Amino acid sequence: MMSFFPLLLVGILFPAVQAKQLTKCALSHELNDLAGYRDITLPEWLCIIFHISGYDTQAIVKNSDHKEYGLFQINDKDFCDSSTTVQSRNICDISCDKLLDDDLTDDIMCVKKILDIKGIDYWLAHKPLCSDKLEQWYCEAQ
């Protein structure tokens, strides 16, 4: 029983990092700077993010030659730097790990760069799932 106390103390002092699971309305509030950029509406973003990451800030998807990180599933092949992809272009000039935290400021800056370069079609969920019939993606609490 004596060994339980140090373990409890460590658990209190160094809490486990957990993914922030956002709700539609909370995310809607955090994406204000992105709403309307390149004519993409907030409901479109909420739909896209739901389908690609489930509103999970720490979502990582492994593909054959790269990984995608965070709410927006930004890839380490072109847009962020990871230890697993040797020759990332790192266009957003950011560590992929920064895309997994709860501060969306740098994520949004990177998303704007992606929109400027690739457009909304970078997010494959947009056209088939999030380009029309968006009523369900409006936040009632706005």
Please report, as a single letter, which amino acid is at residue 43.
Answer: P
pLDDT of residue 36: 95
The two structure tokens encoding residue 121? 């079609």
Is the residue at 84 inside a domain?
yes
pLDDT of residue 139: 83
Q: Which domain holds residue 66?
A: 17-137
The two structure tokens encoding residue 12? 């209190």
Is the residue at 106 inside a domain?
yes
Is the residue at 8 inside a domain?
no
Is the residue at 9 inside a domain?
no
Is the residue at 4 inside a domain?
no
Q: Where are the alpha helices (DSSP H) in 19-64?
A: 24-30, 42-53
Question: What letter would DSSP give residue 62?
Answer: E
Can you give the pTM of this predicted structure? 0.82
Q: What is the CATH number of the domain that holds 24?
A: 1.10.530.10
Q: How many domains does the chain have?
A: 1
d(CA 26, CA 68): 23
d(CA 72, CA 120): 12
pLDDT of residue 128: 96
Residues of the chain with pLDDT under 50: 1-18, 142
d(CA 54, CA 137): 13
pLDDT of residue 5: 38
